[in-house]
Amino acid sequence: MCGIFACYNYQGDVEEFRQRALYLSKKIRHRGPDWSGCMIANSTILAHERLAIVGIDTGAQPLVSDDDNLILCVNGEIYNHKQLRANLKNKYEFKTHSDCEVIMHMYKEMDKDLVQHLDGMFSFVLLDKKRNRVIAARDPIGITTLYYGWDSKMPGTVYFASELKSLNEDCDKILAFPPGHVYDSDSGETTRWFNPSWWDESRVPTNPVDLKVLRESLETAVRKRLMAEVPYGVLLSGGLDSSLIAAIAARETEKIATAGVPDDDNFDERGPTFWPRLHSFSIGLPGSPDLIAARDVAKHLKTIHHEYTFTIQEALDAVSDVIYHLETYDVTTIRASTPMYLLSRKIKATGVKMVLSGEGADEVFGGYLYFHYAPDSKSFHEETVTRVKNLHTSDCLRANKSTMAWGLEARVPFLDKQFLEVAMNIDPKDKMPDRSQGRMEKYIVRKAFDTSDDPTAKPYLPDNVLWRQKEQFSDGVGYSWIDTLKEVSLTKVSDEDFAKAASRWTKDTPTTKEAYMYRVMFEQWYPQEACTASVVRWIPKAEWGCPEDPSGRAQGVHDEALKE
């Protein structure tokens, strides 16, 4: 992934604005430390900070079409780019090996409907010079981050950027660009293009789970995400989700190493052939649950395993910087992002530039422990759809910005468009946990990869990991991490200040001293009023009897399961 900045229809001397635009783009250079580019056409400026993953020798951006009419900036990866090239009606001369260049040629044939055909994670801004038109789009779930903003002194001017920090100084209105939408300057409207079969949460599916289809669709999702020309690895917490992704990736790389590249136009072989031995990465406090479980998985998969520990003080020292990169004050996101931010820095130091991660499974399958308290299957399903729709405000935001803070790209197979069509259309009765019947959270995912009934099959994971109880990442890195954050906030925030929280912040009033502490840190980086419009806090479902603290350990079922 990369960092993009654009300003459409600048109302002033755009050449003079160039230096300002370069400054604003530089604010997100951590996302793309490999190269920078900037172009001006008409009254529009497009800037790009590149992280080279695919087409590393020729893929510098902004990209320009053969006829010099189209200029394109993309942040993301288009996994089906080879198939898209083959399906173009006309012949075009491709200037680069980039997976993103095909977007320009698709625009010539399909206009903005091209987004319907993209399979990947992406945010892009495309300028059509002849029409003085800009279109911008974001991937279906919001795996990549994108914002757009306006300056009331320049009506008609629209800014776009991968992160809030490139806009807050120049815009007095800033919004998160909605996932699955496309903006068209001709109409000035942002419209939804992603309309999958499962989007309406009131439509409760009745399809019984097909474990084979579920397993194979996730394997396909992992396979396509191995597209890379740089060293890659997997984030391995030792929990079910990251361990399954690691297990599938290990099998795929082994296939290439032993059988060679498959004869498949839809498969981009540049990943597994570049680094055929899988590297895995984990982090935690010394002796933490995640580190112990991750060792078992790495040993089972025979990965080259990298284990890192951190101290509480190192994490506390990083919190302010984490909030700067996250651009949120949400409690659960900050808790989980800090260890991920520290790990990403360690990974980047090894030379790895891309990792696979397990985000999304808990939302899709109701894996969080509070789902045990869902009153019925309809409520369970509605909550999974709502959580998937809002991933761009929480786990996707965390995974993207914690890693991209160090120029590391995270790919998330559980949010694959085709996989979601399978998983989100399963009868929620099959997904719901039921301890009385021995069905723990994400039972069908575990069962899909359970080979115990076939003595000749190679197990995907050790049983103690395949059937390990859910630990949220912020818990699994070591229980004392969250406990210390709470204790520190009690000393940093006085009772007197906390009592005035409602008068200080009418929106998202902090209800704990920990939340108050993060809100203060956020405002130190982002004091402008416009900056809070894009922040969304996760609030536990009180109507299900959930406690206010978002930690998995706060759910009663966590301790109940440990007693069994």
Do the beta carbons of residue 148 and residue 160 sit within 8 Å? yes
């039921």: which residue's tokens? 434
The conformation of residue 34, written as its DSSP 8-state character, comes to T
Sign of the CA dihedral 454, 458, 461, 462? positive
Separation of alpha carbons 478 and 421, rounded Å: 35
CB atoms within 10 A of CB 563: 5
Q: With H, G, I as helix, E, B as strand and everything else as coil, classify residue 56.
A: coil
Do 136 and 233 have their domain in common? no
Do the beta carbons of residue 326 and residue 337 sit within 8 Å? yes
Which listed residue (2, 7, 38, 73) is catalytic?
2
CATH number for 557: 3.40.50.620
Q: Which pair of tokens denotes residue 444?
A: 């069908």
Please indicate if the annotation marks 357 as binding a ligand.
yes
Please indicate if the annotation marks 316 as binding a ligand.
no
Is 203 contained in some domain?
no
Is 386 contained in some domain?
yes
Do 248 and 379 have their domain in common? yes
Is 66 contained in some domain?
yes
Do the beta carbons of residue 218 and residue 210 sit within 8 Å? no
Do 168 and 232 have their domain in common? no
Do the beta carbons of residue 32 and residue 51 sit within 8 Å? yes
């996994």: which residue's tokens? 79
Digit-coded pLDDT (tens) for 156-191: 999 999 999 999 999 999 999 999 999 999 999 999
Q: Look at residue 542 in the predicted model and tell me its pLDDT.
A: 81
Backbone angles phi, psi at 397, to 5 degrees: -60, -45
The total number of structural domains that make up the chain: 2
* Residues in contact with 42: Cβ distance below 8 Å, sequence separation at least 6, in sequence order: 127, 129, 132
Q: Look at residue 563 in the predicted model and tell me its pLDDT.
A: 47
* Residues in contact with 162: Cβ distance below 8 Å, sequence separation at least 6, in sequence order: 2, 3, 4, 5, 28, 31, 75, 123, 144, 145, 146, 147
The percent helix, strand, coil of the chain (3-state, each to 5) is 45, 15, 40
Q: With H, G, I as helix, E, B as strand and everything else as coil, classify residue 359.
A: coil
CB atoms within 10 A of CB 22: 14
* pTM confidence score: 0.94
Please indicate if the annotation marks 99 as binding a ligand.
yes
Do 134 and 16 have their domain in common? yes
Q: With H, G, I as helix, E, B as strand and everything else as coil, classify residue 176.
A: strand
CATH number for 167: 3.60.20.10
Is 255 contained in some domain?
yes
Do 181 and 241 have their domain in common? no
Do 46 and 181 have their domain in common? yes
Do 115 and 178 have their domain in common? yes
Is 537 contained in some domain?
yes
Do 234 and 138 have their domain in common? no
Q: Look at residue 541 in the predicted model and tell me its pLDDT.
A: 84
Q: With H, G, I as helix, E, B as strand and everything else as coil, classify residue 484.
A: helix
Among 192, 219, 242, give the residue marking a domain's end: 192
Omega before 550 within 30 of 0, i.e. cis: no
CB atoms within 10 A of CB 57: 10
Q: 448 vs 1, 192, 210, 542, CA distance in Å?
A: 31, 33, 8, 32
Q: 395 vs 36, 360, 390, 412, 436, CA distance in Å?
A: 28, 7, 9, 11, 30
* Residues in contact with 97: Cβ distance below 8 Å, sequence separation at least 6, in sequence order: 54, 55, 57, 58, 59
Is 202 contained in some domain?
no
Is 205 contained in some domain?
no
Backbone angles phi, psi at 434, to 5 degrees: -150, 95
Digit-coded pLDDT (tens) for 466-480: 998 866 555 667 788
| H-run or E-run covering 483 | helix 479-492
Q: Which residues of the chain have pLDDT under 70?
A: 59, 257-276, 470-476, 550-564
Among 130, 158, 192, give the residue marking a domain's end: 192
Do 239 and 350 have their domain in common? yes
Q: Look at residue 169 in the predicted model and tell me its pLDDT.
A: 98
Please indicate if the annotation marks 283 as binding a ligand.
yes
Do 370 and 236 have their domain in common? yes
The conformation of residue 207, written as its DSSP 8-state character, comes to B
Do 252 and 173 have their domain in common? no
Active site residue 100: no
Q: With H, G, I as helix, E, B as strand and everything else as coil, classify residue 235.
A: strand
Separation of alpha carbons 223 and 271, rounded Å: 10
* Residues in contact with 243: Cβ distance below 8 Å, sequence separation at least 6, in sequence order: 236, 237, 293, 294, 297, 358, 461, 465, 466
Q: Look at residue 403 in the predicted model and tell me its pLDDT.
A: 98
Boundaries of domain holding 143: 3-192
Do 372 and 340 have their domain in common? yes
